[in-house]
Amino acid sequence: MHLSPQEAATTHRQTASATYWLEHAWLGTHVEPGVTVDVADGRITAVRTGTEAPPPGAVALRGLTLPGLANAHSHAFHRALRGTVQVGSGTFWTWREVMYNVADQLTPDSYYALARAVYAEMALAGITCVGEFHYLHHAPGGTRYDNPNAMGEALIAAAAAAGIRITLLDTAYLSAGFGTPPNHHQLRFSDGTAEEWAQRADALKAAGEHARIGAAIHSVRAVPADQLSTVADWTRARQAPLHVHLSEQTAENDACRDAHGCTPTRLLADHGALDRRTTAVHATHLTPEDIGLLGGAGTGVCMCPTTERDLADGIGPAAPLQSHGSPLSLGSDSHAVIDLLEEARAMELDERLRTRTRGHWTAAALLRAATADGHAALGWDDAGTIESGALADLTTIALDSVRTAGPLPRLGAETAVFAASAADVRHTVVGGRQIVRDGVHTLVPDVPTALAASIAAVRA
């Protein structure tokens, strides 16, 4: 059985006070040697530079310390697909059928076990906050659990047990496509109408300081146009984040034009779903007008390069989107790999392949997408920086591994983005509490075994 809301809150209680000495720290614009960070009640209370050695009683974090990484787009149960969906060829649509088969096996308890292991893997990769795009609401066939939010609360409890923060993006998923009723797999995703979705989402409990609640429109094909505003209004009333899969496939764009005579971006704009609290996920196949609409609204875009390349979706226009005013964040989505440093690196390298030019983002800009802008997309504006008042969430990357040894420490940002991997994460701190110490998870001692067991339990 998974944790109760009260147990989850207790598990994730913040550290009262601590002092950390950072051998090298990325402070947003540069790498600073010898930085001391004081923590109280889960927040940074002071940042002192010029400390050459750890003060008495301080915990030394040797390597390069960044703000904690934010994984802005996750489907935790997709982790069970790793390896399986890489056999042979196929398309996004054949991949989706395999995904449905895994979804059909999940219960609140098995989902808790799987998500706990996946979130522990994220902590080992330096991720301190996850945006869980959650649409697996009901039992197979659409039968309601006695607690209609049993699945969502299992995810919140799993994040607490793994020691990371979560924004549960409770997702409206009502249609198989532009008015077509849900298929037999999708019945457990659907609440029937957006109004019924809102009633269930209203009852969702965010137990513990580690959790916040947002919402998602699965896609314009999955929420009828006349119900998009219901979801958008729900988030607006709560000042909560709203996420949406957007133009991931050209087939979605074509079907939207056939149904509504416009692109998915225009449809969202016309129904009030684009503003600064909105994040479009993927946004791979956009028109120039779409880019202008997103940027003009200040709508963020979450790029998921490792999934987009795994599914052969294409390379999205990240650079034009940012230049038009869309903040960029990063997600591991289907978890083909869980490595935010790889997502950051891939965004730049994919753009180099698309344009055959280099240097679209600095390492600092890519780290900002993985930290401050990712947290902002998830409603955690008080995280993602190493400064007084911010949440005390830190990630330390080794500078002496076979991948990172050699460059000068002042080039630590470039080393992290263009050479390091999740395997180089040495320490992870969440709310002042050390969740990963010397590469070992302090709450889930054997993460590989937890992953293997939880995946075997849901294998179709």
Measured distance CA(169)–CA(188) in Å, rounded = 17
Place of tokens 């390349």: 309
Measured distance CA(413)–CA(422) in Å, rounded = 14
Place of tokens 């994730």: 12
Measured distance CA(32)–CA(23) in Å, rounded = 8
The answer on pLDDT for 460 being more than 70 is: no
- Position 93 scores a pLDDT of 65
Average pLDDT over the chain, rounded to an integer: 94
Percent of residues, the chain, with pLDDT higher than 90: 90
Nearest Cα to Cα of residue 154 among 173, 132, 174:
132
Contact between residue 221 and residue 256 where contact means Cβ atoms under 8 Å apart: yes
- Position 53 scores a pLDDT of 96
> pLDDT of 337-356, one tens digit each?
999 999 999 999 999 999 99
- Position 10 scores a pLDDT of 52
pTM of the complete model: 0.95
> pLDDT of 352-401, one tens digit each?
999 999 999 999 999 999 999 999 999 999 999 999 999 999 999 999 99
- Position 193 scores a pLDDT of 97
- Position 9 scores a pLDDT of 47
pLDDT tier for residue 179 given thresholds of 50, 70 and 90: confident
Residue 79's identity, in one-letter code, is R
390: left (phi over 0), alpha (psi -120 to 50) or beta: beta
> pLDDT of 4-52, one tens digit each?
544 554 555 556 699 999 999 999 999 999 999 999 999 999 999 999 9
- Position 2 scores a pLDDT of 58
The answer on pLDDT for 315 being more than 80 is: yes
Average pLDDT over residues 314-328: 97
Q: Mind telling me the catalytic residues?
A: 282, 333
> pLDDT of 392-426, one tens digit each?
999 999 999 999 999 999 999 999 999 999 999 99
Query: Strand pairing partners for 177?
Result: 180
Measured distance CA(262)–CA(275) in Å, rounded = 19
Please spell the DSSP secondary structure of 143-198, one letter per residue: PPPSSTTHHHHHHHHHHHHHT-EEEEEEEE---SBTTBPP-TTGGGT--SSHHHHH
Dihedral sign computed on CA atoms, order 421, 428, 214, 205: positive
- Position 16 scores a pLDDT of 66
- Position 66 scores a pLDDT of 98
pLDDT tier for residue 95 given thresholds of 50, 70 and 90: confident
Average pLDDT over residues 77-83: 91
